[in-house]
Amino acid sequence: MPTLCRPAVSVPEHVVTMEDTLEFAEKIHHGKPQLPLALRLIQRTGVRKRHIVQPIEEALGHPGFEERNRLYEMESKKRCPPVITEALTNADLTVQDIDVIIYVSCTGFLMPSLTAWLINSMGFRSDTRQIPIAQLGCAAGGAAINRAHDFCMAYPGGNVLIVSCELCSLCYQPEDDDIGSLLSGGLFGDAVAAAVVRGHGGTGVRLERNASYLVPQTEDWISYAVRATGFHFRLDRRVPGTMKPLAPVLRELAADHGWDAGNLDFYIIHAGGPRILDDLAEYLNVDRTMFRHSWATLTECGNIASAVVLEALRRQFEENAIPPGATGMIAGFGPGITAEMSAGRWALDSRDPSSRPTARSQGFLEPGRVARQQVV
């Protein structure tokens, strides 16, 4: 079974506290009718601090869509390589061992994808497959894990690198003053994360089953309006209540695997906001402390979009308290409304790294050769 190894996560050096957020919101949006409610909602998020790629005074301005996308390219190229290097080290692999790079981001646009630049600049093989995911928002972290799982099941021995680069502060729109925009301005933070899914061996979550689900008729609840000034985030007030239809889907995923979703050993859940976590704990009948790594991510980093599940998983590794065979679930939620979910067990790798086969040694890269194996 493929194994999701220890992630590497980096947050930028510029810190925005809750007090900073409230102060600047008062200053920039003073007199707007929605501001008092927005300030109360921001305070209820529990976000103590966030990290952004520019000083807050610069982040609150708008130099234009072109300049913002230039900043996105510059910052992503600066910040991704060291995180990737750490993730590869965590997985006991090198760039030459990677068969696929899945790059997820919803906060900037590059074509070709950053994957092409990474392959050329970091020494990945020229036949490394590229899978950019740009439009699943916060759900993309879970989607990347699931697509990595699918690939490794189809091509046993393959290794997949997941990279998440979310620079949410570059999407701030100072002229938008609706509740959703004001709330998102006080909730989202920036982060870069990476993790490797090994097709063979490795310590971490041994992925056993994955699933996707789209809540019908909710595609306009989380969305971007793309205008001359860039991406304008739109958030429907019904979004915090989406755990009611999604909790049964998580239960079904676990039940199909012979497990009880309310009685697992660990949970890596997207921290979209406090109500998401509280409601899911209630509907799954799980003590909220089981979501402690998601809560800590929300408190100390804010909502870092697709990077949330990797940061929460990193914290699970740091806790170093899970025995082999422990059961768990990973879930990311985002636009659609989409849920990307996976189930697996904690596994330790005590074998000699040199004894582990690679995708190349198994020949799956040879022209016309396709492994036929059902995806769990």
For the CA atoms of the chain, what is the radius of gyration? 20
- With CA atoms as reference, report the closest residue to 331 among 258, 280, 275: 280
42 — phi, psi (to 5°)? -60, -40
Contact between residue 10 and residue 189 where contact means Cβ atoms under 8 Å apart: no
Euclidean distance between CA atoms 196 and 207, whole angstroms: 12
- With CA atoms as reference, report the closest residue to 91 among 192, 199, 164, 191: 199
Instruction: Establish whether 80 is a catalytic residue.
Output: no
Q: How many CA atoms lie within 13 A of 331 on its CB side?
A: 26
- With CA atoms as reference, report the closest residue to 250 among 274, 270, 272: 270
- Is residue 152 left, alpha or beta, with left meaning phi > 0 and alpha meaning psi from -120 to 50? alpha
Using CA atoms in the order 336, 337, 343, 346, what is the torsion angle rounded to 10 degrees? 90
Euclidean distance between CA atoms 225 and 299, whole angstroms: 28
Which residue in this structure is represented by tokens 């990077």?
A: 307
Tell me how far apart the terminal alpha carbons of the chain are, to the nearest angstrom. Answer: 9
Residue count of the chain:
376
- With CA atoms as reference, report the closest residue to 207 among 344, 376, 373, 346: 344
Euclidean distance between CA atoms 350 and 347, whole angstroms: 10
Please count the other Cβ atoms lying within 10 Å of the Cβ belonging to residue 373.
11
- With CA atoms as reference, report the closest residue to 137 among 294, 332, 328, 316: 332
Question: 80, 138, 152, 301: which one is catalytic?
Answer: 138
Q: Give the residue numbers annotated as catalytic, written as ranges.
A: 138
